[in-house]
A = this chain, B = another copy of it.
Amino acid sequence: MAVSVRDVAALAGVSLGTVSNVLNRPDKVAPATVERVQSAIASLGFVRNDSARQLRAGRSSTVGLIVLDGGNPFFTDVARGAEDAAMRKGLAVLVGNSDESVDREHTYVDLFEERRVAGLLISPAGDDLTRLGRLRDQGTAVVLVDRRSDDDHFASVSVDDVAGGSIAVSHLAAIGRRRIAFVGGPFGIRQVTDRHAGAVAAARSAGVELEVLPTTSLSVLEGRRIGEEIQARPASERPDAVFAANDLLAVGLEQAFIMRGTIRVPEEIAIVGYDDIAFAEVAVVPLTSVRQPAQDLGRRAIELLLAQVEEGQGVETLHVEFTPELVVRQSTVAEH
């Protein structure tokens, strides 16, 4: 059943080492021999045993990726980017979903450690990075995803949420809006505070008003609630634009405005969301949104990982921060 290099060597009439050379350094073997060995491999259906390779090599050709939420499109895109980049380098990606649970995260870290992964890409669930520090000290490359380490001890890839907030509000100011509302919360979430900070800075430099309408979560329902609230105001006291901390909120706002038919989007109130989820494009009024380059994040994370693996310990810890991009649709600029 199990066919090994030995069987291949026997059938091809060469020695073990030659088969190994054909597999790993074909250029060092006479073409005719390569041919013979390869046809032996084919006729036997030989498949390399990766465990044996790894055992020998001491390191696997697998990298681990632990995400906070497997169902979140942001993370599936990150995973996709990482997978593609890794595959090009001959690496496989093992994806684990911590579901924001520190326990589940630990389970995966243990698993990956037993598997001797070449490196670990992780969006940590908690604030305690000591476990990862130990891992890294033992020689496993670690790259933080969507999060910078406070003490600069880990390489990381992230997206500049402050810039994202700024881009959104600058766009609204550029199309002539003067009374902007930031809708989002809770402010305990870093992304929310960062996006808000960017919004504040852009509003100030553009000389426009910015009020804050806090939410208890980043959901469609909360968006709808705030939408109703805005609508209940006299028209003169309404903002002329809303920047929502994510697309779910934005969709909820839009639903509230349009359903009632009382507020026209974008004529009376323009809306900008964040994340550019699939539904942003097919909303009743297609939603202008800030897009995070999630796939690029995954790709760069793999590159940083490889740099660490290749350069060894001595490499300086690198931080790559992406700038998000604005996707303009009809919720801010009506079609002509």
Interface residues of A (CB under 8 A from B): 1-2, 45, 47-52, 54-55, 58, 60, 70-71, 73, 76-77, 79-80, 83, 87, 92, 94-97, 107, 110-111, 113-116, 134, 138-139, 219-221, 248, 251-252, 255, 258-259, 261, 279, 282, 284
Contacts and interface: CB of A to CB of B under 8 A. Distances in A.
Contact of A116 (B50, B113, B115): B50
Given A2-B58, A97-B83, A114 B49 contact: yes
A45 B258 contact: no
Contacts of A55: 49, 51-52, 55
Contacts of A134: 45
Contact of A76 (B47, B71, B138, B221): B71
A58 B282 CA distance: 51
A55 B80 CA distance: 30
A251 B282 CA distance: 10
A229 to B, nearest CB: 18
- Copies of this chain assembled into the complex: 2
B70 A80 contact: yes
Given A94-B92, A114-B48, A115-B50, A282 B70 contact: no
Contacts of A139: 1
Contacts of A58: 2
Given A52-B55, A220-B282, A261-B261, 18 more contacts: A1-B138, A1-B139, A2-B58, A45-B138, A50-B51, A50-B116, A51-B116, A55-B55, A71-B73, A80-B97, A87-B107, A92-B111, A92-B115, A94-B94, A95-B95, A219-B282, A221-B282, A279-B279
A31 B51 CA distance: 33
A24 to B, nearest CB: 14
Given A2-B58, A49-B116, A259 B284 contact: yes
29 contacts: A1-B139, A47-B110, A47-B114, A48-B114, A49-B114, A50-B115, A50-B116, A51-B51, A51-B54, A51-B115, A52-B55, A70-B76, A70-B80, A71-B76, A71-B77, A71-B80, A76-B76, A80-B97, A83-B96, A83-B97, A87-B107, A92-B94, A92-B115, A219-B282, A220-B282, A221-B282, A248-B282, A252-B282, A259-B284
